[in-house]
Amino acid sequence: MILKIDEPWQAMLYGWLIVAFIMHLLWMWQKRSGRAGFVDVAWSIGTALMAIGFCVVGSGLPQRRLILGVLIGLWGLRLTVHLWKRLSREGEDGRYESYRREKGQKAADRFYLLFFQMQAVFALIFASPILVASFTPETAQLHMLDAIGIAIWLIALGGETIADRQLEHFRKDPRNTGEVCRVGLWAWSRHPNYFFEWLHWFAYVSIGWHGEWRYLTLFGPVAMLLFLFRFTGIPITEKQALRSRGDKYRKYQEEVSVFFPWPPKRDGLER
């Protein structure tokens, strides 16, 4: 029997249930493998696939839904490949390894059960702008806002890819062991990859800014900014950097913008 989806809330419910089931299977796997870090890969896949599903079942203009599906699909593919390579190369993420070591395996498993299921909720939150855009009235034809959204997406994904590659090349050089990356975009922002990831979500705001529920497309960039500054992004990353690089990173904090790319505070900064 094929499920018939006529309303956005039905798409949200089915999308969440599918991703929640996948996350439960992954949680069971991590209990045996000790590799909780793959939840980040699963989140990127789950978010992209849920959003693509919204594009398929949406009632909006087919051309707009096709554009949205391609953009979010390519975003998910790029992020998934990047995270997979990093986990394959570096092993378990230090955040999850530290928690398991400090709390013990049983306590970590209980926490990860909730944590993994929260990833399904987060996937729904971040896919919701695409849901709104996909159910935009079909009478809303393509126009300048859609082109602006595509332009934002190109700039954001390009910037994030460049930042990731610059950091990767810096880390591969053994001469840079224990040093702080101040190459390229990293000379203007301590987290340029996070900045461009946040910028990327405005693409769906622009493309979805047509229907009655247009303000809900802001969930993407607002939620991403909140997560980056309060939860899993900048605070944890900077804490780990201070532990591993000490005064070098403190000096970096004093001289370089935390998020928005901006000229460093002094001349002669390494490029």
Per-residue confidence band for 73, with pLDDT thresholds at 50, 70 and 90: very high
Last residue of a domain, one of 123, 142, 161: 142
Q: Are 41 and 31 in contact (CB under 8 A)?
A: no
Last residue of a domain, one of 142, 168, 190: 142
Per-residue confidence band for 111, with pLDDT thresholds at 50, 70 and 90: confident
Last residue of a domain, one of 142, 157, 192: 142
From the centroid of its chain, how far is CA 30?
Answer: 21
| Res 104 pLDDT > 90 | no
- Specify whether 250 is located in the same domain as 152: yes
Segment 170-177 long-range contacts (CB within 8 Å, at least 24 positions apart): none
- Specify whether 10 is located in the same domain as 60: yes
- Specify whether 138 is located in the same domain as 220: no
Mean pLDDT of 93-122: 80
Q: How many CB atoms lie within 10 A of CB 213?
A: 15
- Specify whether 183 is located in the same domain as 122: no
Which residue is it, tokens 């034809």? 141
- Specify whether 4 is located in the same domain as 85: yes
pLDDT on residue 35: 78
pLDDT on residue 267: 54
- Specify whether 211 is located in the same domain as 253: yes
How far, in Å, CA of 23 to CA of 119, rounded? 8
Q: Are 69 and 40 in contact (CB under 8 A)?
A: no
| Res 52 pLDDT > 80 | yes
Radius of gyration over alpha carbons of the chain, in Å? 20
Q: How many CB atoms lie within 10 A of CB 139?
A: 9
- Specify whether 196 is located in the same domain as 256: yes
pTM: 0.86
Which amino acid does the sequence have at 209? W
> Among 7-16, 83-92, 99-108, 154-163, whose mean pLDDT is lowest?
99-108
State phi, psi for 223 to the nearest 5 degrees. -65, -40
Between 128 and 97, the higher pLDDT residue? 128
| Res 36 pLDDT > 50 | yes
pLDDT on residue 90: 73
- Specify whether 233 is located in the same domain as 245: yes
State phi, psi for 238 to the nearest 5 degrees. -70, -35
- Sign (positive/negative) of CA torsion 123, 129, 130, 135? positive
- Specify whether 89 is located in the same domain as 180: no
Tokens linked to 212: 């009655």
- Specify whether 153 is located in the same domain as 135: no
Measuring CA to CA, how many Å separate 39 from each of 45, 113, 152, 183? 10, 11, 28, 29
Q: What is the DSSP letter of 187?
A: G
Range of the domain at 88: 1-142
- 109-134 b/e with 16+ CB inside 10 Å = b? beebbebbeebbebbbbbbbbbbbbb
Most confident of 30-39, 129-138, 194-203, 207-216: 194-203
Q: Are 43 and 124 in contact (CB under 8 A)?
A: no
Measuring CA to CA, how many Å separate 244 from each of 163, 216, 250? 21, 40, 11
> Among 139-143, 176-180, 263-267, whose mean pLDDT is lowest?
263-267
- Specify whether 151 is located in the same domain as 127: no
| Res 93 pLDDT > 70 | no
Number of domains in the chain: 2
- Specify whether 100 is located in the same domain as 193: no
The mean predicted confidence, pLDDT, of the chain is: 88
